[in-house]
Amino acid sequence: MRYRILGGTGIEVSTYCLGTMMFGAAGNPDHDDSIRIIHAALDHGINFVDTADMYSAGESEEIVGKALQGRRDEVVLATKVHFPMGEGPNRGGNSRRWIIREVEASLKRLRTDWIDLYQIHRPDHRTDIEETLSALTDLVRQGKIRAFGSSAFPAHETVEAYHVARQRGLYRFRTEQPPYNILARGIEGDVLPTAQRLGMGVLTYSPLGWGFLTGRYRKGREVDMSQGRAARAPERFDPSIPVNAAKLEVVEGLVKLADELGRTLPELAVAFAASHPAVTSVILGPRTMEQLDGLLKGASLMLDDAVLDRIDELAPPGTNVYQPVALWSPAPLTDPALRRRPPGDRAAS
């Protein structure tokens, strides 16, 4: 396993990070089995574990907390805050009120006194970024977190947060966690260069492109729309939809390339994500031990220029074969009032 410095913090993290979204009711409900998978990842040299308060409504954090008993000091532990954790107002978002409250809940579920990397799971246009950075800065000074970062932030919001932190004398985001894979390379044009210029670490997720880079979905092969992810989001898997047909076309070329290398498509996919110089660590999100074993085989794979050039031909740099869904859309797109002038202003123009 290789290790890299996390966003100028001096903390060394493994090139591959264990993501735990699939541990709990949303994936693997067997706590003992999930703990075995976490221990296996640590035994393979992974020292970086990423979770979130909202994964299975806190159950993932509870599993991680149990798994790290006796091994906490050897692990760089990351979690996230933002999404609602119950009904009613003020039960989510990026306000000081919610962050201060929820970090205590995460610490309790994780059975730890500190969190190494506390991440803001999504932007929140209802909350001034200075408010969020101020709360996070206080948590660092209190010793409850060591550093903090963002997730799925557009490049311009990352830049805004950086300048607010400098102007107000606050600590800044040290990391960004965006979706990134061969089929979704859009962030190569803005998010990744911005992170490099600002000295931020990058933890990428979804290296298998919602399962399309597992090799399970192939051109001309029937897709069972009643099972698994296809049942939950048929629009992402129906091969009659042009964007899905385009994904399948690229997959065929990637399967051929992987075969020539004597590797599997998932191994090629995770190695690709780790090959970008801006990427610090690639988050792997297995549900089973078999999936973990298969993904870890890609940890030793280093892609040379010839292979990366072949990938560029199939999926050009900076392009998205599909638009990755980050469970968040900018407020100007979701709130009509932010993109429509009041009737009086329209009449005057």
CA angle, 92 as apex, 90 and 93 as ends, to 5°? 100
Q: How far apart are CA 102 and CA 158, in angstroms?
A: 23
CB of 114 within 8 A of CB of 73? no
Would you call 304 helix, strand, or coil by DSSP? coil
**In the chain, how long is the greatest CA-to-CA distance?**
69
Q: How far does Cα 86 stand from its chain's mean position? A: 23
Length of the chain: 349
The DSSP bridge partners found for residue 169 are none
Q: Does the annotation mark 171 as catalytic?
A: no
Q: Which of 156, 165, 108, 105 is nearest to 135 (CA)?
A: 165
DSSP string, 216-253: -S-TTS---TTSHHHHH-GGGT-TTSHHHHHHHHHHHH
Catalytic residue selected from 55, 162, 180, 322: 55
| Catalytic residue positions, numbered | 55
